[in-house]
Amino acid sequence: MKKLGLVYLLLIGIFVVYLLNYRLQANNVDPWETAGLRGNLEDTYVMLTFQIGIDYWKSVLKGFEDGAEDLNVSVEYHGSTQHNANEQMTVLEQVIAKKPAGIAISAVNSKLLTETINKAVESGIPVVIFDSGAPDSKAYSFLGTDNYKAGAEAARKMADLTDAKGEVAIITTPDQHNHQERTAGFTDTIREHYPAMKLVAIKDGRGDQLASRGAAEQILADYPRLAGIFATESKGGIGVAEAVSAAKGNSAALPKIISFDTDKETLDLVKKGGISATMAQGTWNMGYWSLLELFQLHRDLAADPAVYKNNKLLPVPGMVDTGIDVVTPVNVDNYYAK
């Protein structure tokens, strides 16, 4: 009898262990069926930029990684080393060949990347674009600063700094869509709201510190009474600050500088007064919400690869304005990377 009891007990014990273990496993089996939004670690989402080393992307990548950690998926970061469309195209081709679960790309050129982006979408890979758009591409969503609004905000700040009068100039990167928009927002706002201000020059700084310094020096020579310069990207802002600093003594009142973004060198210049203000973008949001949108698209496409072919409204927003803030000596300390 005792032996039989022992056997029963063993059987019951094994059954209970089996049952609990089954429940435990069931919790992890199908990522779409579990309670909570949760993917597979084998699913790799790719963030792809140009100028892969620069500070600016760090906070975007942090957002992208935070999203991946929240959703239990993997990320890779790729990009071209240079500000070069052909190189970025090659990197994108290589990424497409690996069939990732999704791609979030910032396009170095608003037109030249379109075809390769469309190739990714047509091969069934969800693509969203962040920061710098390719408006004619088939990417499902754009997440970034409303650059027109940001340019308009910079113009209002420039008016604050210059008592809304005098000559102003812009140093920009004319072949990038986001810089075109910042320039347009700044230009339109000055023209429409500040009759005593005049935009006298728009020059190409090529996203490069030295080229922007050269362009600024030319503008300072042509317009010695310049009241302000708006640099639509941070390397340019640093170059402009160098040019203006070097011009000290040559002119009575130095022009005010408004730059863009919050890399350490720019923030240091804001702190020291070499740059009057800089525009902070919602870079973490770009990364985080790109990942969440790609996850959503991947889930739909995994269930039905033809889901978006039938004129159905997309399950992600067309445009996400990730926000803008003006950084001055007053609040600059909040913007250093922690």
DSSP structural state of residue 248: B
Q: Crossing angle of helices 56-71/283-303, nearest 10°? A: 40
Q: How far is the CB of 331 from a second copy (least distance, A)?
A: 5
Q: Give the residue, chosen from 1, 4, 24, 303, that forms a contact with a second copy under the rule CB under 8 A.
A: 24
Q: Give the residue, chosen from 127, 129, 143, 297, that forms a contact with a second copy under the rule CB under 8 A.
A: 143
Q: Give the residue, chosen from 1, 4, 33, 36, that forms a contact with a second copy under the rule CB under 8 A.
A: 36
By CB under 8 A, which span of 13-21, 105-113, 187-195, 247-255 interacts with a second copy?
A: 13-21
Distances, alpha carbon 309 to alpha carbons 100, 118, 302, 304, in Å: 20, 14, 14, 10
> Does residue 11 interact with a second copy by CB under 8 A?
no
Q: Give the residue, chosen from 11, 17, 196, 246, that forms a contact with a second copy under the rule CB under 8 A.
A: 17
- 3-state helix/strand/coil string of 282-311: CHHHHHHHHHHHHHHHHHHHHHCCCCCCCC
> Does residue 7 interact with a second copy by CB under 8 A?
no
> Does residue 29 interact with a second copy by CB under 8 A?
no
> Does residue 38 interact with a second copy by CB under 8 A?
yes
> Does residue 317 interact with a second copy by CB under 8 A?
yes
Q: How far is the CB of 323 from a second copy (least distance, A)?
A: 4
CA angle (57 as vertex; 142, 158 as ends), nearest 5? 80
Of 64 and 289, nearer to a second copy (C-beta) is 289
The two three-digit tokens of residue 17, written as one number: 């262990």
> Does residue 265 interact with a second copy by CB under 8 A?
no
Q: Give the residue, chosen from 130, 194, 230, 284, that forms a contact with a second copy under the rule CB under 8 A.
A: 284
Q: Crossing angle of helices 234-246/209-222, nearest 10°? A: 50
Look at the alpha carbons of 60, 63, 69, 71 in this order and tell me if their dihedral is positive or negative: negative
What number of chain residues touch a second copy (CB under 8 A)? Answer: 50
Bridge partners (DSSP) of residue 32 are none
By CB under 8 A, which span of 6-14, 153-161, 185-193, 253-261 interacts with a second copy?
A: 6-14
> Does residue 316 interact with a second copy by CB under 8 A?
yes
The three-state secondary structure class of 327 is strand
> Does residue 329 interact with a second copy by CB under 8 A?
no
Identify residues 68-87 at the interface with a second copy (CB under 8 A): 70-72
CA angle (282 as vertex; 62, 147 as ends), nearest 5? 135
> Does residue 253 interact with a second copy by CB under 8 A?
no
The two three-digit tokens of residue 237, written as one number: 């802002």
> Does residue 280 interact with a second copy by CB under 8 A?
yes
Q: How far is the CB of 327 from a second copy (least distance, A)?
A: 10
CB atoms closer than 10 angstroms to residue 70: 16
Of 229 and 324, nearer to a second copy (C-beta) is 324
Strands (E), 215-264: 228-231, 256-260
The two three-digit tokens of residue 254, written as one number: 């130095």
The residue behind tokens 């890399």 is 263
- Phi/psi for 37 (5° steps) reads -85, 115
The residue ranges that bind a second copy (CB under 8 A) are: 2, 5-6, 9-10, 13, 16-17, 20-21, 23-24, 27, 31, 34-39, 70-72, 143, 146, 280, 282, 284-285, 288-289, 292, 310-325, 331, 334
